[in-house]
Amino acid sequence: MAESIEVKVPDIGDYNDIPVIEIHVKAGDTVSVEQSLITLESDKASMDVPSPASGTVKELKVKLGDKVSMGSVIMIMDADASVSSSPKKEEPAPVSQPVVPAAPTPPPKPNPPQPIQSSAPVSPSDIGKAVSHASPSVRKFARELGVDVSKVKGSANKGRVTKEDVQKYVKSVMSGETSTGSSSGVGLDLLPWPKIDFTKFGEIERKPLSRIQKISAANLSRNWIVIPSVTYHEDADITDLENFRVQTNKQNEKSGVKITMLAFMVKASVAALKKFPEFNSSLDGDELVLKKYFHIGFAADTPNGLVVPVVKNADKKGVLELAEEISSLAKLAREGKLKPDQMQGASFTISSLGGIGGTAFSPIINAPEVAILGVSKAAIKPVWNGKEFIPRLICPLSLTADHRVIDGAVGTRFNVYLAELLSDFRRVVL
Ligand code: CAO
């Protein structure tokens, strides 16, 4: 004879007010002992509440999103009399562990369930949406990939989301076919990348990106999106420095070492980094990592794409030595022969387009650095000396800095100081 029993949430340890995220049965369903009835999910674990007996579900007392604690009645069921069971003996089963076979005799003292699934906090608004159509293991898989299951179209029976559906969804988002459609204001909420048949408009040719271009593209996109950067512009009067450079190069013609403006820029930048140490740092969570070393990266244009060789310990080298090292690293870069350690460890980067042209640009910070100096082409400009305009060689400096670390005033001070050093290089040794 059937006995009507109340099925209650068993001892679930310290958890209270846990949302019901899945209901696996409905009134009239026949259930067997230990069959999963509902799934609860706290911010630390998912737990299935198993049936304490075999029988028929008479009435559900909870709905998706309801919050329950130990002792909350979740349903009334007509339990088969043949099975001795009591609501007090229910024990929730952690979802990804095998269900323990039901014992007709009183089960051992229930242990509090062990949270076995770590999970990101689920906002109440997420609960009860399409999450009810994915199994706990699929939801766990989706969470690990940062996927909101409610956005995934289920292909299995009754629209249930499978692991393959989640994988397909991730692929389509990554390829730009699907927008994440997030409208919460959090996340990027980007439109899908336009898919255009260019042949409709004229002849085209497809050329695969080089390996370096692909790596740069991924890094540049992340840095552009993640870093709240500001570019500060300053003019440096390099008239005297250029005269000195030309003169020195003439004297050194026979030895073959040619100094370019970039070597002076490296030397002057090191002096400015020493004066403004936050520029020689990296953000690490809530901490700023201030580096006591001065490894300066410089952007080099190569046939295969942009690479950034690194001059290590630039503070310990003279301008001639820096010029030599820049030249040999640039040669290796163009030949595609740089070793990984020759491109690692930069604490600040310089991107010089001065040999090509330009009047200003906004370089993208090379994360996890916090600033990058862009150098454009120096040109003769009229400068007012208080009495008259005189021709001076002016070099545009464009310094991009991470605003999370460097405020506008400090950014401008760094640039002004750098320009002062370049206009009178004797200050570098002060
Ligand atoms: N203003 C005017 N002329 C400049 C200058 C400046 N700011 N900087 C360099 N020049 C001149 C040099 O003096 C040299 O002239 P001379 O032959 O008369 O001496 C000429 O331009 C060529 O210099 P260079 O390019 O050979 O040497 P460099 O040290 O300035 O640069 C390197 C070396 C590797 C940085 C450069 O070859 C390069 O690849 N630059 C491109 C960097 C780049 O792509 N940045 C963008 C990154 S973001 O996409």
**pLDDT digit of tens for each residue in the chain (430 aa)?**
678 999 999 887 777 888 888 888 999 999 998 888 988 877 666 677 888 999 999 999 999 989 999 899 999 999 987 544 444 444 444 333 322 233 343 333 334 333 323 333 333 333 333 334 677 778 878 877 878 787 888 888 778 888 888 888 888 877 666 665 555 666 777 899 999 999 999 999 999 999 889 999 999 999 999 999 999 999 999 999 999 999 999 998 888 789 999 999 999 999 999 999 999 999 999 999 999 999 999 999 999 889 999 999 999 999 999 999 999 999 999 999 999 999 999 999 999 999 999 999 999 999 999 999 999 999 999 999 999 999 999 999 999 999 999 999 999 999 999 999 999 999 998 8
- The fold of the 2-90 domain, in CATH, is OB fold (Dihydrolipoamide Acetyltransferase, E2P) (2.40.50)
Q: Which two tokens stand for residue 226?
A: 């993640």
What ranges do the domains of the chain cover? 2-90, 132-198, 231-429
In angstroms, rounded to a whole number, what is the distance separating the alpha carbons of residues 273 and 399?
A: 13
The CATH classification number of 132-198 equals 4.10.320.10
For the Cβ of 377 lying below 6 angstroms from any atom of ligand 1, the answer is yes
Which positions ≥6 away from 159 have C-beta within 8 Å? 130, 133, 153
Q: How many angstroms separate the alpha carbon of residue 181 from the centre of ligand 1?
A: 44
The identity of residue 129, as a single letter, is: K
Closest-CA residue, ligand 1 atom 9, reads 355
Closest-CA residue, ligand 1 atom 15, reads 355
- The fold of the 231-429 domain, in CATH, is Chloramphenicol Acetyltransferase (3.30.559)
Q: Is 403 an active-site residue?
A: yes
For residue 216, the model assigns a pLDDT of 92
For residue 118, the model assigns a pLDDT of 32
CA atoms within 13 A on the CB side of 145: 20
Q: How many angstroms separate the alpha carbon of residue 89 from the centre of ligand 1?
A: 79
Pocket test for ligand 1, best of 262, 298, 329 (most atoms within 8 A of CB): 262
Cβ atoms 314, 295 nearer than 8 A: yes
For residue 87, the model assigns a pLDDT of 43
Long-range pairs, 415-420, Cβ under 8 A, ≥24: 415/232, 415/233, 415/234, 416/234, 417/272, 417/275, 417/276, 418/234, 418/236, 418/268, 418/269, 418/272, 418/373, 419/234, 419/235, 419/236, 419/237
Q: How many angstroms separate the alpha carbon of residue 355 from the centre of ligand 1?
A: 3
For the Cβ of 400 lying below 6 angstroms from any atom of ligand 1, the answer is no
Buried b (16+ CB within 10 A) or exposed e, 245-283: beebeeeeeeeeeebbbbbbbbbbbbbbbeebebbbbbb
Tokens 């440096």 correspond to 236
Query: What's the pTM?
Result: 0.64
Closest-CA residue, ligand 1 atom 8, reads 354
Q: How many angstroms separate the alpha carbon of residue 338 from the centre of ligand 1?
A: 19
For residue 89, the model assigns a pLDDT of 42
For the Cβ of 62 lying below 6 angstroms from any atom of ligand 1, the answer is no
